[in-house]
């Protein structure tokens, strides 16, 4: 009898753990990281944010993107003014800063964020620039 109780307890714990992992991870995340080609196809339906420095932005950026420097001290305050329910795509030079920005936005309550990664990859996949 003790052996079946122990098995039942172990099974219950496994099911509980699997439920917690599913609820907290992956598929429920506000951030997605598609291929550059897929991200380019999403551009018309998203608010596009270039999270590089103003100097990098001025040298060229994805058409229609707004510049909010993720490493600026006012990044949190600037994203706080945005609609948290809107759909966003963030990008940078190499993908490091876009990942940081996407994570910060998700933590701040944004629900639909695409990490577009590196600008060069987006441009190579057909993103227009200005």
Catalytic residue list: 92
| Number of helical (H) and strand (E) elements in the chain, helices listed first | 6, 5
Cβ–Cβ < 8 Å for 117, 50: no
The DSSP symbol for 106 reads H
Give every strand in the sheet of 47-50, ordered side by side: 31-32, 113-118, 88-92, 47-50, 66-67
Residue with tokens 């551009």: 43
CA dist., res. 116 & res. 108, Å (int): 19
Residue with tokens 């339906």: 45
């Amino acid at each position: 009898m003790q052996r079946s109780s122990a098995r039942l307890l172990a099974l219950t714990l496994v099911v509980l753990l699997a439920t917690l992992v599913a609820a907290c991870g992956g598929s429920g995340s506000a951030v997605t990281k598609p291929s550059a080609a897929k991200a380019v196809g999403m551009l018309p339906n998203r608010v596009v944010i270039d999270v590089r420095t103003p100097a990098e932005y001025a040298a060229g950026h994805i058409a229609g993107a707004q510049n909010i420097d993720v490493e600026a001290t006012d990044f949190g305050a600037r994203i706080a003014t945005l609609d948290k329910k809107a759909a966003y795509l963030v990008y940078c030079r190499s993908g490091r800063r876009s990942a940081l920005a996407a994570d910060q936005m998700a933590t701040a309550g944004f629900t639909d964020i695409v990490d577009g990664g590196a600008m060069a990859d987006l441009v190579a996949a057909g993103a227009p620039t200005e």
